[in-house]
Structure 1
């Protein structure tokens, strides 16, 4: 074997070498382990694997590598120029692996493992990765940019093998990339620009990062460099509230929010005047203590940081304060009675704008503002209040007195007076007047509408009574013992400085009470006679009187039309007459048996109407087996038939008229166990129809 010379191709044995017969062919050789490219970190050991099939004892394997595929080894021998290289593996298995210890950047390049007889030689690359020691550099990071201008940042990487791939991020968001530039300088480097055509204020404070990635995550880690953008922009002013409503006397802090870079200086101005003298400026705030109504208006907040345009914000301050009446009307206002067009205006200020109304003092009756009256009279005189309200804590009220002056006016409601003859008449004349009347007199209207004064000299009992009040006087004409001749029209006439006023009074004199009673009595008697005459005439025409006369003649002697019904046979004692012991009497036109005289006070005889009922009572005593049996019962019971003993029913029984159903009072007797027990009872024979009582007779007995 001949050692390879640097830069020379390997020398292969001739086909006529000893050991080979002439005309013998070369065996086919192939890769059992084909070499593959490899990346290894600088300083580590790299192994390029290569193995063949079909090698003979005469076969020679060559490794070629950088620079320019120089021969590194022939067979298993390595050129001395490569002290860190060696061939490893099992020759019997055709293994010729190239091992490089402590790899450096000089071993990076292309490698080839070959032998005679290969149809294709495999070429592989060994990449020696040198990690970056420092992150990339951002050029322009300390530059301050102004909003509206373009911005460019450049990321440069000069270390590492291979040179890294650069990318820009905002936090985790990948930014738009521009083609990476590889700079062929003395020191290899790579760069990437971040370009923003027009930077804005919201770019201020943005964190941008340049990341360098060598592409071998198992061998190296990414390196990154970051910077925060510094963008200058003009101030932006925002008012928290456009309008503020504050009550008078409170303390208010006006504030505006300013966004700017660099920080802006803030000042305050009042749009329609000067800021109150007690105001305090505290940075972005303006304090207004103890607000007055003059502090209301518009306020402007100005911010300036040297970058145009300056910032400006405004706020409107509304000061709420209670109403205050500004009108200067007097406490007393005069008006002429009978005049027209009275008007009184009341003005007030306040915020919100107050509502102004008028009302009569002491009432809840309101009038619109201005207070107006189309016709002035004494009724409108009095105290009035102007009330201004706007929903604040208190209202403002101002008083005035409307004084009506002028000629008198008679305000009497009742102008008609009725009085009985002989009584005292009082004609009341209520006079409203300011000033008070100078004279008040009474006149009586005579024939021809002539008024003559009424004086005490005309007849006794005439006098005048006068009483003063705040609004005028009351003059009363008193006439005692009024007669019919005193009736008529009386005139009350009153006069003051402004003129005279009159009013008519009508007095009606009526008859006395005695005369009225007589007239009423005579009227009633005449009406009764008239009604009686009419009734008699109608009765004669209809024949009513003749029928009444006939009925009276037919019923003048009331007799029983027929005898009482006989007693049942079972109630008649043996050998006795059914009619014995009965005495009839007339009771309201009806014949009834007379009850027996009551000589004793035995309670058991109460309610018995006929003597023949004694037998029944005695039988009941026997059935009860009581000891208090009357003495006459022994003889009566012994005379009864057996049937009578079995059925002790009375032939007649009394009926209580107070009971609505006419119930027999025997049913309520406490001495009967079952007075109407029908067991074994034989109904007595009915009374023939000819013996029944006539329907026209009010019978009170029952069978």
Structure 2
């Protein structure tokens, strides 16, 4: 059987099928013919020997029992007398059992070790061939390999030692199985830890394997991440996902956007924003996954803050401002955090008011001018200016238009009347005096002078206004 030690002071315990060699009642049984042990550890090589308790010469007594690895002139050399093993060899023998213990193993201790005993009977010597082969190696304790298929995941315990080896499996330190293979139950969400060890070496198990624990998210540069991370727009920001897992986990980043089938943003440990924008605000989480399971982090809210954008101003009512009317100005700006608003009028030192809405209840000519709305938050400020002016009275404009139209219509009639008068005057000076029948034009009244015409026109205009 192959056994692995993990550290100095570790005793390799030998358990395997017995190997018996002997005849006529003489023999040696080794617990194993091959042993693997770590450099610096301690190994126990065990055997049981037997011999005839009585011969024709009498009772048999063992006068010497020892282990050897070398021969000197065809005679075995007792390990206790070998300088290379000085202070590192111990025999533990009783009731026909004898164990060789070698401490502080060296790579040079790799050899075949044989047990020999001598009795008080003539020719009562016996060597237990073929002995036990010890391999001292510089290696690690057993390792767990994960084998994953479509339906199952299996764990395999692997040792670099030679020879047949029996393994024991542990879950969170509790023994659960004996075999080189263990079928993983698929409960990786609980982050249970699984180890294996060579039978008899349970105190020196393999490194544990386990599904990822719940990942954590960190933000760089360091900011508070609970409940949200507040970051200035344009900054360079890195989100890092980390989880304890063996085998090592792979990571995936997601952004919550209302889509039940979230699409991954990145499959790296870090999610990097070289110049973060307001559109990057939102909730992010990451997953950590290995062959044994998958875990998801809590959401982290990224809040990208920025100074107010250029404000816009709306006017109500949106038509021309009539003197005496009420005017409402509304200012709005995209900002995070929300902006505060202040209103100013050009050439005035003090602000008119604060707030998003500014109302002038009785607009007069003196209210005309340039008004500014300033939006401000802790990230900065921005300003927009609008010009307000009172409109000319519409009734006065309509009267002027009506008078002008009437005057333009009457000018031709006045010219015709003057021409007729002039013609009559010329006729009276060039022809004999005869009665002339004059016909008055009903549709064209005659006026004695311009003042009469003006008075009549004014009366007509007043009548039209009364009708309107």
TM-score by length of 2: 0.44
Normalising by the residue count of structure 1, what TM-score does the alignment of the two structures yield?
0.31
Work out which structure has the larger RCO, using CA pairs closer than 8 Å and 6 or more positions apart in sequence. Answer: 2
